[in-house]
Structure 1
Amino acid sequence: MKLNIFTKRFTILCCSILAMTAMSCKDDFLDEDLTNQYSTDYFLTPQGLEDLTVSLYGNIRWHFGYEWAYGITLYGTDEFTNANDLTNEMWNTYDNRLGPVGATTETGAANKNATSPAALWDQMYYGISSANIIIANAEIIEDEAVRNRCLAHAYFLRGYNYYRLVAQYGGVVLQLEPAEGVVRNFERATEEESWEQVISDFRNAYEHFEGEIYTYGKGVTWTKATAAHFLAKALLFRASERNDAWNSGYIDSDLNEAIDAASYAIDARGPLTDNYRDLYATWSGIDSETEQLDEILMAAPHNADESTKGRFGNRTYNYFTPQFSNFSGGWVRRGVWIGGMDFQRLRPTEYTYAVFDHVNDSRMWKTFKTVYGVNNVLDENVDVELGDPGIVMILNTKDDDTYDNFKFGANIQQPDWRDVDGRLPEWKLGMRQTETSGSLTSSPGQFVPNSLVLYQNGEYVSPNFKSTPISNFFAGINKTDDGSRFAEKGDAHRDVTMARLAETYLVRAECYARLQQYGNAMNDINTVRARAAWKSGENRSYYVDGSVAFENNSLNTGSAAQNYINSNLNINTYYLSNPDIDVTTEASDLSLTSFPDNLPDEDEAVLNALGVSGTYDRALHFILNERTRELLGEWQRWETLSRTGTLIQRARAFNKEATNITENKHELRPIPQSFIDGLLNEDGSNLSAEMKADWQNPGY
């Protein structure tokens, strides 16, 4: 850790902290551009404080700039495990490389890109330092409306940054005033004290925001609803199982206040976006309608302005996609025309596929990419043309025996998908797909260079289609796909959603469940599930993702344009994965009729695997399942499981690579050793070994 982060001598730690031009905004808060550096004195002027307030939005962009985006938030959980790339393997396996020093190539990391536990710690305190300056000096702003706006933003960012720190590390250093000079003597607050500060900051932000005023553009601007959402989350966190040792005096009041805060956000920003697909999959380019939805409560802003992207920009498009160019043998080449780079970091677990209702839940088929088109014909003697299916992933269920005797993998003649009377069903005719017609193959037995199935003979065989030593062949999710890139490995330009209203419903539902108000909980859950169901008239085999932004990309000419058409077939494997389902455009129904009794089959299977019983535990684990279905890959699974005391249980049950996860240790992250080693006593002497040990979390 840079030990002078709490100083007033910052070079502007927010450095135009990625000036407001980085925002996807309609009406800018500031009329003048920010420059790259300001003197300290400038930030003690009214205009300087306003500029510093704007810069706070830049601090949140860090979360999605590199490998830490997934390492600290998604690895080591029930939802995702590592594929064949081992950059951040230790965050998933919980081996000894996940320690206070941090993994390096010298300590066994696969490469120099491994995430250090110091990464989040350092970055959050930079933002906190900026917020402290605004809060301490806001009184010099004479205009009350401007002063309140600056205070609202500063309290929110400080609360959010401390939320992220406490969620990961437990009790942390609470620095609430601008520090003079280099500070190397700190006290570590308890987790109880730390949550009190987080909640206080969010309460202050909530009080200072003036309702739903979109200063910078919907989805980007923080508003009263944003503060309400995170206030509800912080109160729920304090009332949750990880804090059982000390939180008994808070639980009822926190849950009721959380319900009130969540209700404000729901009433102010509802209803939910009509179609789940429109939240992510229909992203068509910079500042598209997808980024302006009322459901979005907070997003990290990005656009095409290279001067504001920061060190890394938005790299999230790299992490969810399988290594298609490798296992396809070159039939499907990667490029800017496919919205995701095939870095194969995040491989869904069996639980992640199985927790969905494969027939009735549209979220599964609007999220998983299951078909890639051939954009490179390798063998002219094979009956495969450009634009034919090149990779086909069948996401069937454990009880399906359709494909028990078929061969899958690379260069295998595909099974004959004819009806029993020998005719090819009409819905399978045609290579291309529109929103109303089309399908997968043009002839039975068509050769497809690569194919995968989840289950054969009741066994989960998906990981068998792999490169060594770990599978790199899986169905990735599309929530970060970006066809607006200007180079194969160029930066993404889309905003990254950090909070949205569907989660607010699930937070409120969990609060109700904890208060044993199960009817109210079910109502909120059903609101989320109603949007997830198929609507009348929907084509269930239609698929789209952020690759569609390539249509508005200046590179969309010549061969690149053809590669886009050939690669993105706009189809999924819904009917191949559900072979007993006739073609239909009827609405489906996901509504619960009782809760938490008589849950859907897929949930009962998960609860049985976990050995869960009892009314409250059934309710909690169902909500955790629903969070997977609704929020898969949205950067918060680790903290959710740590909060609820279910991390060890669910990781062990569903993540085979999390072999070293340990109770009373891995519920928290290690405090960075670089920070501890730099601490001094008040008299300037070094800490003793015992004092350093007292700073560290248990088990490290």
Structure 2
Amino acid sequence: MKHLKIYSFFLFSLFVVSSCGKKYLEERMVSNIGDGYLSTRAGFEDALKAAYSSFRSFYATERGMSLTVFGTDTYTRGSDGSWKFVNDYTAQLDARTGIINEVWSDFYRAINTANAVIGRADQIPNIDQATKERRVAEAKFIRAHHYFILLQLFGGVHLSLEEVRSVTNKASRASIKQVYDAITKDLESAIPKLEPDVKKTDWGRATKPAAEHLLARVYLTKATSEAKAPDDYAKALQYAKSVINNYAFKLLPDYAKVFEQGAGEINDEVIWSVQYTSDPITNSTGNNAHVFFLMEYDVQPGMQRDVANGRPFKRFMPTTFGLSLWDRSIDSRYEKNFKMTFFCNRPGTYTIEGRSVTLNAGDTAIHLPSRELTREEILKRPYLVITPSRYTEKLYPTLTKFLDPLRPDRTTFEGSRDFLAFRLAETYLIASEAAMYVGNMAEAANFVNAVRRRAAYPGKEKAMEVTPSQIDIDFLLDERERELMGEQLRWFDLVRTGKLLERVRKHNPQAAPGIKDFHVRRPIPQTQIDLTDGGAASFPQNPGY
């Protein structure tokens, strides 16, 4: 296995980890650790590895998915789940929302652990200078990433860049510019010290291209914020082009291969991923993304739940607009993103469309055609046909890129596949958007066409290309979703481009009645306000909540 496998470590106790093996980060569980341990070489290394565990709190979890996939133009609520109000933007979306509190607290714990690694580095014995600088750079990458997510969710947040060793109730909200300054400073100082490639050593650690990709995304987002600077787009383009041109990354010829589980998770397109594992002892709650996007296939004629088709939680349903994004005659990504046919795994005789149909193992049991069919056409098919007009909150196209057929059984929730957080296709799309805004439309077209040509059906590559005159922010937003659907970027993309309100109101009927102007920010957790000396006067809530 290859995974960076970790538990949590914070300040003086909880769990810590240690290194073992040559190809990945391993772990051991140790409890009741005192403060002095963090100042040892082993504790220093363990604390950093534990800081990585906080990525698992956000990526491929219900909290992270609900805050980034739900309530957008392309995904709305399915029939089940406790967080439908996040999609609907009702009054329940408030300062007491559990998933918001969890991201806040988990990220701040990790930030303080990263602060400890950075602050104590010079006192750690028996560590060479290059290794020490590299570990500090990794901690800065983690800290910058977490502040960037918090900034996008909440706006200005408490900025802590030194380790807190005792309980304090002093906190305040830094300005958006101050937080951006801290993020960019961390990443720009980390980049020269990070390794360019760790595939054969410690896969899962932050690398130089991972930090450059993140910094390109940061500058692209900063460019539309109140902290914007005239050179933000130029810097986003600079860092994106560095990732594209200066390393061995390349787009895989087949879009579907990017998401192959197992060996495919370390491929030439993956810049950095959040590590999960098949070891149930060390996987914590695991990668949960495999359950959220599935329709209720398992109670339909000829079907029962199995490992390959997944455990259908029916949380996220694609909107009509979301399903309309692809030109399915030339773009293979619809076919490779969605499951259109289910094959019988529960043989028997069933009543379908008022007639008796016998299904044998392996027969087509369910088909979701991309167009409407006449009643006569439907009756010619000896299986359940679900046309677009028949979609419900339980029956809709299933996004397949997160399925986990390597789970040990059909009920296992703790998935083992990595979450591909940064991949080269997004780098190209960042570069295209940045090039557009600096006025180089030909370069913008070249970058987006590289992604589109890869997505084309064989022989359709030329038809997939677009001209510079076709490119604007709406086209690029659509293209990002054609490529990156479900990958925890959409809410952020719509907010940073000023399109959240417009597009949700136009394309998400469940969310449209509830969304208000202030919903471009999430509410500050009430516990943070209540525990701060001075309360709301010292730590004000976001407007509207």
TM-score by length of 2: 0.92
Identity of aligned residues (%): 27
Other-structure match for 2:157 = 172
Q: 2:321 aligned with 1:321, yes or no? A: no
Q: 2:368 aligned with 1:393, yes or no? A: yes
C-alpha displacement at 1:57, in angstroms?
2.3
Other-structure match for 1:253 = 231
Q: 2:199·2:266 contact (CA, 8 Å) conserved in 1? A: no
Q: 2:505·2:513 contact (CA, 8 Å) conserved in 1? A: no
Q: 2:13·2:31 contact (CA, 8 Å) conserved in 1? A: no
Task: Spell out, residue by residue over 1:131-156, the C-alpha distance to the aligned partner (whole angstroms, 9 max, x if none).
Answer: 00011011134401211221111000
Q: 1:317·1:492 contact (CA, 8 Å) conserved in 2? A: yes
Task: Note the 1:297-376 alignment, pairs <5 A.
Answer: 297-310=271-284, 312-326=285-299, 328-329=300-301, 331-338=302-309, 340-376=310-346
Other-structure match for 2:479 = 626
Q: 2:510 aligned with 1:527, yes or no? A: no
Q: 2:414 aligned with 1:414, yes or no? A: no
- Local SS of the residue matching 1:621: helix
Decide whether aligned partners of structure 1 residues 116 and 62 sit closer, same or farther in structure 2, where only a CA change above 3 A counts: closer
C-alpha displacement at 1:587, in angstroms?
4.4
C-alpha displacement at 1:341, in angstroms?
1.2
- Local SS of the residue matching 2:519: coil
Other-structure match for 1:399 = none
Task: Spell out, residue by residue over 1:212-263, the C-alpha distance to the aligned partner (whole angstroms, 9 max, x if none).
Answer: 2436455x232100000001111111102xx2x452xx1x322212211111
Q: 2:344·2:360 contact (CA, 8 Å) conserved in 1? A: yes
Q: Distance in 2 between matches of 1:657 and 1:144?
A: 55
Other-structure match for 2:537 = 691
Decide whether aligned partners of structure 1 residues 63 and 9 sit closer, same or farther in structure 2, where only a CA change above 3 A counts: closer
Decide whether aligned partners of structure 1 residues 169 and 660 sit closer, same or farther in structure 2, where only a CA change above 3 A counts: farther
Task: Note the 1:375-524 alignment, pairs <5 A.
Answer: 375-379=345-349, 382-396=357-371, 403=373, 405-406=374-375, 414-415=378-379, 445-448=380-383, 450-454=384-388, 461-463=389-391, 466=392, 471-490=393-412, 491-524=414-447
Q: 2:258 aligned with 1:279, yes or no? A: yes
Q: 1:73·1:638 contact (CA, 8 Å) conserved in 2? A: yes
Q: 2:240 aligned with 1:262, yes or no? A: yes
Q: 2:184 aligned with 1:199, yes or no? A: yes
Q: 2:66 aligned with 1:71, yes or no? A: yes
C-alpha displacement at 1:596, in angstroms?
3.2
Q: 1:300·1:496 contact (CA, 8 Å) conserved in 2? A: yes
Decide whether aligned partners of structure 1 residues 229 and 590 sit closer, same or farther in structure 2, where only a CA change above 3 A counts: farther
Q: Distance in 2 between matches of 1:520 and 1:37?
A: 56
- Local SS of the residue matching 1:498: strand
Other-structure match for 2:3 = none
Other-structure match for 1:636 = 489
- Local SS of the residue matching 2:520: coil
Q: Which amino acid aligns with 1:303?
A: T
RMSD between superposed Cα atoms in Å: 2.2
C-alpha displacement at 1:292, in angstroms?
1.1
Task: Note the 1:526-605 alignment, pairs <5 A.
Answer: 526-535=449-458, 586-597=459-470
Q: Which amino acid aligns with 1:56?
A: A
Q: 2:138 aligned with 1:160, yes or no? A: no
Task: Spell out, residue by residue over 1:184-212, the C-alpha distance to the aligned partner (whole angstroms, 9 max, x if none).
Answer: 11111011111111111111221221322
Other-structure match for 1:11 = 13
Stretches of structure 1 lacking an aligned partner (at least 5 in a row): 1-6, 103-114, 397-401, 408-412, 416-444, 455-460, 536-585, 598-617, 682-686
Q: Distance in 1 between matches of 2:68 and 2:448?
A: 24
Q: 1:79·1:352 contact (CA, 8 Å) conserved in 2? A: yes
Q: Which amino acid aligns with 2:359?
A: V
Q: 1:512·1:521 contact (CA, 8 Å) conserved in 2? A: yes
Q: Which amino acid aligns with 2:401?
A: K
Other-structure match for 2:77 = 82
Deviates more, 1:383-392 or 1:167-176: 383-392
Decide whether aligned partners of structure 1 residues 28 and 389 sit closer, same or farther in structure 2, where only a CA change above 3 A counts: closer
- Local SS of the residue matching 1:382: strand
Q: Distance in 1 between matches of 2:462 and 2:366?
A: 31
Q: 1:664·1:698 contact (CA, 8 Å) conserved in 2? A: no
Decide whether aligned partners of structure 1 residues 132 and 644 sit closer, same or farther in structure 2, where only a CA change above 3 A counts: same
Q: Distance in 2 between matches of 1:351 and 1:37?
A: 52
Other-structure match for 1:671 = 524
Task: Note the 1:11-160 alignment, pairs <5 A.
Answer: 11-12=13-14, 15-16=15-16, 27-28=23-24, 33=28, 35-64=30-59, 66-102=61-97, 115-141=98-124, 142-160=127-145
Decide whether aligned partners of structure 1 residues 374 and 488 sit closer, same or farther in structure 2, where only a CA change above 3 A counts: same
TM-score by length of 1: 0.72
Task: Spell out, residue by residue over 1:344-380, the C-alpha distance to the aligned partner (whole angstroms, 9 max, x if none).
Answer: 1111111111110111111111110011111113427
Q: Distance in 1 between matches of 2:425 and 2:29?
A: 35
Q: Which amino acid aligns with 2:382?
A: F
Q: Distance in 1 between matches of 2:19 and 2:275?
A: 9
Q: Which amino acid aligns with 2:264?
A: T
Deviates more, 1:653-662 or 1:157-166: 653-662
Q: 1:273·1:295 contact (CA, 8 Å) conserved in 2? A: yes
Q: 1:8·1:178 contact (CA, 8 Å) conserved in 2? A: no
Q: 1:34·1:51 contact (CA, 8 Å) conserved in 2? A: no
Other-structure match for 1:650 = 503
Decide whether aligned partners of structure 1 residues 646 and 661 sit closer, same or farther in structure 2, where only a CA change above 3 A counts: farther
Q: 2:10·2:113 contact (CA, 8 Å) conserved in 1? A: no
Q: Distance in 1 between matches of 2:248 and 2:478?
A: 25
Decide whether aligned partners of structure 1 residues 663 and 513 sit closer, same or farther in structure 2, where only a CA change above 3 A counts: farther
C-alpha displacement at 1:342, in angstroms?
1.0
Other-structure match for 1:607 = none
Equivalent residue in structure 2 for 1:226, among 199, 205, 210: 210
Q: 1:222·1:297 contact (CA, 8 Å) conserved in 2? A: no
Decide whether aligned partners of structure 1 residues 593 and 160 sit closer, same or farther in structure 2, where only a CA change above 3 A counts: closer
Other-structure match for 1:614 = none
Q: Distance in 2 between matches of 1:276 and 1:309?
A: 28
Task: Spell out, residue by residue over 1:528-578, the C-alpha distance to the aligned partner (whole angstroms, 9 max, x if none).
Answer: 11110123xxxxxxxxxxxxxxxxxxxxxxxxxxxxxxxxxxxxxxxxxxx
Q: Distance in 2 between matches of 1:475 and 1:207?
A: 44
C-alpha displacement at 1:65, in angstroms?
5.9
Q: 1:217·1:292 contact (CA, 8 Å) conserved in 2? A: no
Q: Distance in 2 between matches of 1:386 and 1:186?
A: 62
Task: Spell out, residue by residue over 1:505-525, the C-alpha distance to the aligned partner (whole angstroms, 9 max, x if none).
Answer: 111111111112111100100
Other-structure match for 2:193 = 208
Q: 1:69·1:316 contact (CA, 8 Å) conserved in 2? A: no
Q: Distance in 2 between matches of 1:260 and 1:56?
A: 29
Q: Distance in 2 between matches of 1:506 and 1:631?
A: 10
C-alpha displacement at 1:123, in angstroms?
0.9
Q: Which amino acid aligns with 2:56?
A: R
Q: 1:138·1:151 contact (CA, 8 Å) conserved in 2? A: yes
Q: Which amino acid aligns with 1:336?
A: V
Report the structure number with the largest CA radius of gyration.
Answer: 1
Q: 2:449·2:466 contact (CA, 8 Å) conserved in 1? A: no
